[in-house]
């Protein structure tokens, strides 16, 4: 299989402009003859569905939540990047592009990332017009703050609830189209398979989560906006229901899965408190604007934070990375935290935490100012831990947060299955091996508001699409396969619950495919995961039946897919015998302990093809061409 | 330091919308005080599955207090005893050893019970679809800084916009009114210049939809404000009323 990225020729600055001109247009009267199925209603899904419906397409939108407003984008806290340069501090589209390419450790496509930076400014304008209450200065103009991996202040925010406000903006735009009748909204539906007819994506089979019925939806294209797969690790900052199932089923129908081992471990999360833990909570990266990260210099220091004098503290990020300090990118900050904990200098009951200290900020800015900026985060920390971060430093530890890998897409955001488009975190395209803070919201909305409305038209015009409805044999076959699988899950009647299996998978992935990886551990994971998968299919215990609301059945189906994906994550991590971004192979590090890339051998996207049950995945490579940026050792010193 | 708690739960079980439900007793032992309330229910559900029983169905997603998915009435109080806190952020350290805890779903005609503690809040989406938006198509926005908005107004809009749509306000209201939820959206757009062109049709349509969904009227009990996990102020209801009157009068 030849992977064609379809990146347009020409200078970087004019690629997108030219591409937009060259894409074929659908006549306004013809748009209403096309139905597009959009799966997921996060930032990417809601913005895509709303924007396409505004153009006149018929849109069917599904989400697993009881309301589209609850999609997991809502949890994003800190902000959204844009190259407005309102601060006059030297920002530009090119700088945002450059920071993002560098932040991703040179494992993303130049043209995609440039387009992302280019449309970033339109996103802010769009959101302001929708009534998103971004933070403002006293003069009434928009306010900015800094995020990791950048030396300019380009992050727009709405207190610590930026994702919520952006999602509500996209959600209200979506609901407006529901009101016009252009969008058919179907909440509490989970996509369980993709329907491919004559080699093209023509619809989906979904599970009605309230009644258990299987439902089919046909269209001329499918747009997948179903988020990332961080929950493979069991514990992550993802929502309880976030999953890979929709993407994985597409993968098994022929869509290549790219860079599955590129996962982001976020440095600032509330540490695990016990075995009962069901999820981990992020403390926004924005806290690193004012908080200082430290541990005691002495290993095993038993004293509480306030008894450790300044001279016996190690502000290790400021020490190791003087120019970026506490605002180094996430992968760098996470590994640094792991390193000091491995040295026995971690704090708290488990020793698996570092301090994030606001004493200096409170001294400098005053308590009120700090409360104004971070109050909701401090309150959240207090509710979870019972400790008051205004008085004692927060304890934080890295946690799985975001997945840069995902379904492979070309410049038009189309996967290797014609008609199947993939947006937002579900695709692999823009963040390389490490995503910078405040860039996920930017990408989700860029894809949905400003890319897919153009590229979908080109596909629809240029593709013969004979009438296919839900009675078509491809729908019947797919529905039957889905039903058999649900029946199989319920018929095992073993002795272990989905949670028990999921915890075990999470442990393997965290230990072997987590913050630092080595060949031996990855091989171990590739043996342990198939064994666990086999046990799962023999010993799963599920309550109830499939014709009722049955959340354990939902979880079991998702876990079955994580058990397959987990193995591929390990395989990909083993095959990529270099360190880059969040993928840190212990065998490949610089003398200072930083990730050491191998551009000669690994400057490509790994796109994996499903080869059938019990057969190893096949690797395809998309070579990354860097025409405009010089590949360098990433340095934040 | 964490403690271990022994508890008696009385949980609402209901198989379907039309089948009458009842409270069922579940004694629980050795619950860590560091657990969240929902993690405590997770522990109980694991036990029920092992015993061959159907687990207690309840909704939750982000488990960090922002998605608005979870919602339980705990000892008669929506989202439980802690101020400004969703159920998912409530931790067991706020309960005593030996305590009896009664757990029920949101109760309102407009929010029918689907199963156990899961309710259908689709009415909220339908109210938003009836005008809870600013009509701006993608691509037609002016520069973000083109219209300066005084910080105070932007802050007020943000206060109203922080509503998570969980429905606790409805569950707490003796009339099962949705006034706090609806007014938060109307207020947000009243504070912002972008929301002005449509303000009259917006408030009229949303109020009409609210009635159609069988929510009750607001009679100033302020129970909604007391339980709101995001501390949305009932001053928003006053804003909504003013907007509604203005819309009716001209």
* pLDDT level of residue A337 (50, 70, 90 thresholds): very high
Cα–Cα distance measured from residue B168 to residue B176, given in angstroms and rounded to the nearest whole number: 10
Regarding an ipTM greater than 0.90, the answer is yes
- Residue A169: CA count within 13 A, CB half-sphere: 33
Q: Which of A260, A232, A566, A523 is nearest to A400 (CA)?
A: A232
Looking at A330, A479, A517, A533, which residue is catalytic?
A: A330
- Mean pLDDT score of chain A, rounded to an integer? 96
Question: What pLDDT does B244 receive?
Answer: 98
Question: Closest Cα of chain B to A140: distance in Å?
Answer: 4
- Above pLDDT 90, what percent of chain A? 93
Round to whole Å and give the CA distance between A260 and A570.
8
β-strands A257-258, A406-407 pairing: antiparallel
Chain-centroid distance of CA B250 in Å reads 33
Q: Do B125 and A130 touch (CB under 8 A)?
A: no
Tell whether the model's pLDDT for residue A106 goes beyond 90. yes
Query: Which residues of chain A have a CB within 8 Å of the CB of B135?
Result: 176
Quote the tokens at residue B195: 């929301």
Q: pLDDT-derived band of residue A273, with 50, 70 and 90 as boundaries?
A: confident
Note the pLDDT tens digit of each residue in B108-133: 999 999 999 999 999 999 999 999 99
Residue among A354, A390, A395 nearest A374 (CA): A390
Residues of A in contact with B143 (CB under 8 A): 125
Per-residue model confidence as pLDDT tens digits over A557-616:
999 999 999 999 999 999 999 999 999 999 999 998 889 999 999 999 999 999 999 899
Q: Nearest residue of B to residue A70 by CA position?
A: B67
Mark whether A330 is an active-site residue: yes
Residue with tokens 């393997």: A508
Question: Cβ contacts (< 8 Å) between B52 and chain A: which residues?
Answer: 543
Q: Which of A113-117, A349-353, B28-32, B133-137 shows the lowest per-residue confidence on average (mean pLDDT)?
A: A349-353
Residue A115's Cα: distance from chain center in Å? 19
Q: What is the pLDDT of residues A484-493, one digit of tens each?
A: 999 999 999 9
pLDDT at A235: 96
Q: Which of B38, B133, B152, B206 has the most A C-beta neighbours within 10 Å, making it the best mutation to test the interface with A? A: B133
CB A81 within 8 A of CB A155: yes
Of B54, B69, B154, the CB nearest to A133: B154
Tell me which of A185, A189, A383, A556 to substitute to probe the interface with B (most B C-beta atoms closer than 10 Å): A383
A172/B46 touch (CB, cutoff 8 Å), yes or no: no
Check CB contact under 8 Å for A273 and B161: no
When the pLDDT of each residue in chain B is averaged and rounded to a whole number, the result is 97
**Which of A40, A88, A125 best probes binding to B when mutated, by most B CB atoms within 10 angstroms?**
A125
pLDDT in tens, A197-212: 999 999 999 999 999 9
CA gap B121, A458 in Å, rounded: 38
CB B71 within 8 A of CB B77: no
Contact A125 B48 (CB under 8 A): no
Residue A205 three-state SS: strand
SS (H, E, C) A336-392: HHHHHHHCCCCCCCCCCCEEEECHHHHHHHCHHHHHHHHHHHHHHHHHHHCCCCCCC
The CA distance from A591 to the nearest CA of chain B, in Å, is 40
- Residue A226's SS3 state is coil
Mean pLDDT confidence for A12-18: 97
pLDDT of A616 reads 95
What whole-number distance in Å separates Cα of residue A6 and Cα of residue A552?
A: 42
* Token representation of residue A512: 């072997």
Q: Residues of B with CB below 8 A from A137's CB?
A: 151
* Arithmetic mean of pLDDT, A249-269: 97
Q: Are B46 and B72 spatial neighbours (Cβ–Cβ below 8 Å)? A: no
Contacts B120 to A, Cβ<8 Å: 66
DSSP letter for each residue of A564-612 = HHHHHHHHHHHH--S-BTTB-BTTSB-TTS-B---HHHH-EEEEEE---
How many other CB atoms are there within 10 angstroms of residue A495's CB atom? 10
Measure A539 CA to nearest chain B CA, in Å. 12
- Contact list in A for residue B158 (CB cut-off 8 A) is 133, 135, 158-159, 165
Look at residue B13 and tell me whether its pLDDT is greater than 80: yes
Query: How does DSSP classify residue A69?
Result: G
Is the distance from CB of A56 to CB of A243 less than 8 angstroms? no
Measure CB to CB from residue A65 to each of B46, B61, B124 and give the nearest one.
B61
Q: How many CB contacts within 8 angstroms connect chain A with chain B?
A: 227
User: Is residue B1 scored above 80 in pLDDT?
Assistant: no
Q: What percent of chain B has pLDDT over 90?
A: 99
Please check the confidence at residue A634 and state whether its pLDDT lies above 80: yes
pLDDT for res A2: 85
Per-residue pLDDT, B14: 98
Shortest distance, CA A56 to any CA of chain B (angstroms): 12
Is A316 within 8 Å of A336 (Cβ atoms)? Answer: yes
Confidence of residue A635 (pLDDT cuts 50, 70, 90): confident
Asked if the Cβ–Cβ distance from A187 to B122 is below 8 Å, we say yes
Residue B250 confidence (pLDDT) above 80: no
Across the interface, whether the CB atoms of B67 and A379 are under 8 A apart is answered no
What is chain B's length? 250
Given an 8 Å threshold on Cβ–Cβ distance, is A551 in contact with B55?
yes
Contact assessment for residue B66 and residue A74, using Cβ atoms and an 8 Å cutoff: yes
Question: Is the predicted pLDDT of residue A62 greater than 90, yes or no?
Answer: yes
B122/A380 CB distance under 8 A? no
Calculate how close chain A gets to B239, using CA atoms only, in Å: 17
Chain B contacts of A127, Cβ < 8 Å?
Answer: 144
Exposed (0-12), middle (13-18) or buried (19+): which is A473, by Cβ within 10 Å? exposed
Indicate the residue of A125, A276, A386 with minimum beta-carbon distance to B39: A276
Cβ pair B164:A164 closer than 8 A: yes
């Amino acid at each position: 299989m030849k992977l064609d990225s379809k990146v347009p020729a020409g200078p970087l600055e004019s690629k997108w402009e030219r591409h937009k001109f060259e894409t074929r247009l659908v006549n306004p009267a013809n748009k209403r003859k096309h139905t597009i199925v959009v799966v997921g209603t996060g930032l990417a899904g809601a913005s895509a569905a709303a924007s396409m419906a505004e153009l006149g397409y018929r849109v069917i939108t599904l989400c697993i939540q009881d309301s589209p407003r609850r999609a997991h984008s809502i949890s994003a806290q800190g902000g959204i990047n844009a190259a407005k340069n309102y601060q006059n501090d030297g920002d530009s589209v090119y700088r945002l592009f450059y920071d993002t390419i560098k932040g991703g450790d040179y494992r993303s496509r130049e043209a995609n990332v440039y387009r992302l930076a280019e449309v970033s400014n339109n996103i802010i304008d769009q959101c302001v017009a929708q009534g998103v209450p971004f933070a403002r200065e006293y003069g009434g103009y928009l306010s900015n703050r800094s995020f990791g991996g950048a030396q300019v202040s380009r992050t727009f925010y709405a207190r610590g609830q930026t994702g919520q406000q952006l999602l509500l903006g996209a959600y209200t735009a979506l609901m407006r189209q529901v009101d016009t009748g252009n969008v058919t909204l179907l909440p509490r539906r989970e996509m369980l398979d993709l329907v491919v007819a004559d080699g093209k994506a023509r619809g989906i089979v979904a599970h009605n989560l309230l009644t258990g019925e299987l439902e089919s939806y046909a269209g001329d294209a499918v747009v997948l906006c179903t988020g990332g797969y961080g929950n493979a690790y069991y514990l992550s900052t993802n929502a309880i229901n976030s999953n890979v199932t929709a993407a994985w089923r597409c993968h098994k129908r022929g869509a290549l899965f790219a860079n599955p081992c590129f996962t982001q471990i976020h440095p600032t999360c509330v540490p695990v408190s016990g075995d009962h833990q069901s999820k981990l909570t992020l403390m926004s990266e924005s806290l690193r604007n004012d908080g200082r990260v430290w541990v005691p210099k002495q290993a095993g220091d038993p004293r509480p934070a306030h008894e450790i004098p300044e001279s016996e503290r190690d502000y290790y990020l400021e020490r190791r990375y003087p120019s970026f300090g506490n605002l180094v990118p996430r992968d760098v900050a996470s590994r640094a935290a792991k390193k000091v904990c491995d040295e026995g200098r971690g704090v708290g009951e488990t020793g698996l935490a570092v301090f994030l200290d606001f004493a200096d900020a409170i001294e400098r800015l005053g308590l009120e100012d700090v409360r104004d900026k971070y109050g909701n985060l401090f309150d959240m920390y207090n509710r979870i831990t019972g400790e008051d971060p205004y008085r004692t430093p927060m304890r934080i530890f890295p946690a799985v947060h975001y997945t840069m890998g995902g379904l492979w897409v070309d410049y038009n955001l189309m996967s290797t299955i014609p008609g199947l488009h993939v947006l937002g975190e579900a695709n692999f395209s823009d963040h390389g091996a490490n995503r910078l803070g405040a860039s996920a919201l930017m990408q989700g909305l860029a894809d949905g508001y400003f890319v897919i409305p153009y590229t979908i038209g080109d596909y629809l015009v240029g593709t013969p699409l004979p009438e296919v409805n839900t009675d078509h044999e491809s729908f019947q076959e797919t529905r039957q396969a889905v039903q058999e699988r649900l029946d199989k899950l319920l018929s095992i009647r073993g002795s272990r619950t989905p949670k028990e299996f999921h915890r075990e998978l999470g442990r393997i992935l965290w230990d072997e495919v987590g913050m630092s990886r080595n060949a031996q551990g990855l091989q171990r994971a590739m043996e342990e995961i198939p064994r666990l998968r086999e046990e799962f299919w023999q010993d799963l215990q599920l309550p109830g039946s499939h014709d009722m609301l049955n959340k354990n059945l939902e979880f079991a189906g998702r876990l079955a897919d994580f058990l397959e994906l987990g193995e591929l994550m390990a395989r990909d991590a083993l095959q990529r015998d270099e360190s880059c971004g969040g993928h840190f192979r212990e065998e490949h590090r610089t003398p200072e302990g930083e990730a050491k890339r191998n551009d000669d051998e690994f400057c490509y996207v790994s796109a994996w093809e499903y080869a059938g049950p019990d057969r190893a995945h096949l690797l395809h490579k998309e070579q990354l061409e860097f025409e405009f940026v010089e590949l360098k050792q990433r340095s934040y010193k | 330091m964490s403690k271990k708690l022994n508890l008696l739960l009385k949980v609402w079980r209901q198989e379907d919308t039309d089948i009458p439900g009842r409270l069922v007793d579940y004694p629980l032992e050795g619950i860590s005080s560091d657990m969240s309330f929902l993690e405590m229910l997770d522990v109980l559900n694991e036990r029920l599955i092992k015993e061959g029983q159907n687990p207690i169905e309840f909704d939750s997603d982000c488990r960090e207090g922002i998605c608005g998915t979870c919602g339980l009435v705990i000892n008669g109080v929506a989202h439980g005893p802690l101020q400004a806190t969703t159920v998912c952020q409530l931790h067991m350290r706020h309960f005593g050893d030996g305590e009896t805890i009664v757990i029920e779903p949101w109760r309102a005609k407009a929010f029918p019970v689907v199963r156990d503690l899961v309710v259908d809040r689709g009415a909220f989406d339908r109210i938003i679809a009836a005008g809870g938006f600013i009509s701006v198509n993608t691509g037609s926005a002016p520069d973000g800084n083109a219209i300066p908005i005084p910080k105070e107004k932007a802050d007020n809009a943000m206060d109203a916009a922080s509503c998570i749509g969980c429905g606790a306000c409805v569950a707490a209201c003796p009339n099962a009114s949705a006034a706090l939820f609806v007014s938060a959206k109307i207020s947000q757009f009243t504070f912002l210049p972008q929301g002005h062109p449509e303000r009259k049709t917006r408030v009229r349509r949303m109020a009409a939809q609210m009635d159609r969904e069988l929510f009750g009227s607001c009679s100033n009990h302020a129970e909604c404000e007391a339980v709101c996990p995001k501390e949305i102020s009932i001053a928003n209801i006053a804003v909504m009323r003013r907007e509604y009157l203005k819309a009716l009068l001209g």
